[in-house]
Structure 1
Amino acid sequence: MIGVDAVRTRLLRHRRSTKAKAVVTGAGSGIGRAFAVELARRGGHVLCADIDPERAAQTVAEIVAHGGRAEAVTCDVADRSQVEQLAARARDVFGGPPTLVINNAGVGIGGRPVGAIGADDWEWALGINLWGVVYGCEAFAPMLREANRGGIINVASAAGFAAAPAMGPYNVSKAGVMSLSETLAAELSGTGVAVTVLCPTFVKTNVARDGRITAGARGLADRLMAWTGTTPESVAASTLDANDLGRLYVVPQLDANVVWHLKRHFPSQYAWGAGLLGRVLPVSSE
């Protein structure tokens, strides 16, 4: 008798993440780099897009050093024209539409309550975290729909449903990515295109260090990262498998799953508890 794991392995071997023609934004570090490297390991050809050309080139060098295929491209996902140029570049590189698009680029922001954040920080965070994914879906979804095959993975966060205090712009941007992904999944149902949204808690990346986060919030994030953080490599691999299997949501960690269920079954009590934690923890200190 063939075991469940063996059947799953055979199924995944013939799915879209194997030998994919893939576009990954934010591929210069963290989860984006892990996606790009894992896709190359699975025999894929990867277009590694990042706002930082040196980081994108480093990811490509790592892939090529292990015998994979990849190209680097500079792209600011908050600029619609650059995302449209990325889509055109993908057609040129792959000789047609990609088979997998991963809208991953994002930034961290937190530590101040609504009313003390400022328009500049709101616009910066939403421009990258939300509009970057919107532009990516607008540019690539028609290509995949026309081809009637492939996958779209949007990287959100458990923050999109956890709604922790002092994280307004980040929460709003990631909730928007979740809603966009749910909408796109409905629109593409019945086609050969699968949509997956990734909602992790803490993943061991530099997003907190590179973002606009107060000292208090960064210190708390660092401690939680050390206690509960998982590796970007494990998150990338499990998310690709989930997209292969047609799963919409990936909530990869225990703490994220606990919050997911608490929020849905006890919404008022959850909000009270989150507010209490927000008042106790010193996240707003500079």
Structure 2
Amino acid sequence: MTRRVLVTGGASGLGAALAARYAARGDRVLVGDLAGTADVPAGASYQRLDITSEADWVAALERVRSEFGGLDVLVNNAGIAAGGRIDRLGADHWRRVLDVNVLGAVTGCRTFVPLFKEQGSGHLVNVASAAGLVHPPAMTSYDAGKAAVVALSESLRWELGPWGVDVSVVCPTFFRTNLAASLRGDDPLMDQVATRLIERSKLGADEIADRVVSAVDAKRFLVLPDRNARIAYWSKRLARPLYDRQMRGMGARIHRAELDGGAA
């Protein structure tokens, strides 16, 4: 069955990999992004979409209605990387992270839920992070934002289920992508740590995208697409002393690095 899919942030990273997977199997795909048409995967169409702009979301909805006649899957993928120690992050940092990572997804859901209700079908896919389920130190803004996306998704799961609308929340750990490019240097030490974790990951966006598409097809709610995400999630739930010890160890390493002025 051909599906109609909108992927935000679909011109790079995981978004591009997801858009390419859907397009390759014959789905009608609209990529919402700020990058322009040059980076859009083959077989997909482009829509300029700043996820912090209500007007851009409305324009995307109008195009979906006119060209697709509806929508089957909305992938709220666009987001930014963030990290840093609490005393290094100012109010502008927090506003930027929450505006993009939380309110961007919220606005997408607000915009398309009426269409899904009207259809009596649809699937919201919110890309969060393992950081929305487990909360390492020195990632407060990112942890808080992604935890909010997890909570949003669970609430919408129960709210929209009676309307025939499915919800999935995707929570990977670090994988190879260009996400580190969105770091703004609010805390250079922690930016270095995040960049190193992304670059050293054994998994790339293509592998994660394959697993996400399969999970969404199966209408799975919580999508943990990599082994590290599953270990982190289940250790917190079932082996809390071990989880706490790991988090304390991370906090201690950051403390030592700050005192030494070196890398964590």
Match for 1:97 among 60, 66, 70?
70
SS state at 2:137 partner: coil
Whole-angstrom distance in 1 between the partners of 2:18 and 2:113: 19
| Amino acid of the structure 1 residue aligned with 2:33 | D
Query: Deviation per CA, 1:52-102, whole angstroms, max 9, x where unpaired?
Result: 32xxx1233x41xxxx2x2211111112232222212221221x2211110
Partners of 1:24 and 1:169 in 2: CA distance? 24
Q: Which runs of 5+ in 1 are unaligned?
A: 1-13
Q: Secondary structure at the match of 1:247?
A: coil
TM-score normalized with structure 2 length? 0.90
Q: Which moved more, 1:229-238 or 1:271-280?
A: 271-280
Q: 213, 217, 239: which is aligned to 1:244? A: 217
2:38 aligned residue: 58
Deviation string, structure 1 residues 163-220 (Cα, Å, up to 9, x no partner): 1111111111110111111111111224432211100001211111222254332332
Q: Equivalent residue for 2:62?
A: 88
Aligned residue in 2 for 1:279: 252
Please give the root-mean-square deviation of Cα atoms over the aligned residues, in Å: 2.1
1:233 paired residue number: 206
Q: Is the 8 A contact 2:177 2:198 kept in 1?
A: no
Shift of residue 275 of structure 1? 3.1
What is the TM-score normalised by the length of structure 1? 0.83
For 1:87 and 1:162, locate their aligned partners in 2 and report how far apart those are by CA, in whole Å: 34
CA distance in 2, matches of 1:105, 1:185: 20
How many residue pairs end up in the alignment?
258
Q: 1:229 to 1:157 in 2, by over 3 A?
A: farther
Distance 2:195 2:250 in 1: 17
The aligned residue for residue 45 of structure 1 is 28
Counterpart code for 1:78? T
2:88 counterpart residue number: 116
* AA partner of residue 91 (structure 1): R
Query: What CA distance in whole angstroms lies between the structure 1 residues aligned with 2:226 and 2:34?
Result: 28
> Are 2:115 and 1:143 aligned?
yes
Which residue type is aligned with residue 278 of structure 1? G
1:1-286 aligned at under 5 Å gives the runs: 14=1, 19-53=2-36, 57-60=37-40, 62-63=41-42, 68=43, 70-94=44-68, 96-110=69-83, 112-213=84-185, 214-267=187-240, 270-281=243-254, 282=257
Alpha-carbon distance in 2 for matches of 1:229, 1:162: 20
CA contact (8 A) 1:263 1:270 kept: yes
Structure 1 CA distance for aligned equivalents of residues 215 and 146 of structure 2: 19
CA contact (8 A) 1:152 1:196 kept: yes
